[in-house]
Amino acid sequence: MALWGNNDAKGSGGTVSLDYSTLVVTGSGTSFGNTGAAQAGDVIRFGSRTGTFFGDAVIVSIASTTSLSIASTAGLSGAAISGVQFDISELPKYTVLDSHYIQSGQSTAETTTIRTSAASTAGIGTNTVTVVSATGIVAGDTFVAPSVSKVVSSVSGSVVSLASTIAVAIAAGAALTVTRSTGAKYSSVYGVAEGGTTAAASTKYALTHEGWVGVTTYIDAAGELRVKKETLVAMSGITTGNTPAYPPA
């Protein structure tokens, strides 16, 4: 059994649930074992790396198109996995048990208060709030007001745009706090094809070649995105398509 392949986009339609005690994964609408789909030796990634991610596990056997078994739950978060989306990849198997990448590499964040201020009126359904001062606020910070906690998507002058609309109105003069997680890190393994290296060329995700790459990102105390890259396997011919794409949007 090879330690890795070149496909990061094998068939992964349907949803899956895991029985932690038996290590059996049960699929709904899945095609385990079929050509181009999950095979023994592949890695199954539970959940979405752009949403709720449960971790990775190596597939040891396929019982049917809707049933497979994994080697271990050591690379999983321990949270219940039921009816979730998944990806199938031929990424390097050893990363599943690598403490740097296990459970998507989340670490305990330090939350720093960037600014306290006062807001103008913001009605239900809006995603912009005008503040007295937006100095130091950057995209990715967390905007907190009474009954409101939203991620900041952008800042223009004194107008703070939020990632989604608010369900509770913010009164004029309401106290608000903007915080930033400076210790949280996100690590994952990407299969990077030639198109990925081209797209990343002028960004902080720039690579010198394609292959299997471990990437760690975090926001530093100044609000700057930091990207650390580790080439795990340098190779051409990578097939990609799983989420998120490289470089991340």
Alpha-carbon span 93 to 21, nearest angstrom:
22
pLDDT at site 14: 96
> Is the Cβ–Cβ distance between 112 and 180 less than 8 Å?
yes
Query: Is residue 39 classed as helix, strand or coil in its secondary structure?
Result: coil
Question: What is residue 249's predicted lDDT score, i.e. its pLDDT?
Answer: 64
Predicted local confidence at residue 44, as pLDDT? 96
For the chain, first and last CA: distance in Å?
34
pLDDT value at position 231?
Answer: 92
pLDDT of residue 105: 44
What pLDDT is stored for residue 234 in this prediction? 93
- The percentage of residues in the chain with a pLDDT greater than 90, rounded to a whole number, is 37
Backbone angles phi, psi at 224, to 5 degrees: -90, 140
| Residue 45 contacts residue 102 (beta carbons within 8 Å) | no
The answer to whether the Cα torsion of 34, 98, 51, 228 is positive or negative is negative
Cα atoms found within 13 Å of the Cα of residue 141, Cβ hemisphere only:
26
Average pLDDT, the chain: 85
Q: How many helices (H) and strands (E) does the chain have?
A: 1, 15
CB-based contact 128:122 (threshold 8 Å): yes
- The reported pLDDT for the residue numbered 182 is 64
Sheet with 128-130: strands ordered across: 111-118, 175-181, 142-145, 148-156, 159-162, 128-130
Segments in the chain below pLDDT 50: 104-105, 107-108
pTM of the model: 0.69
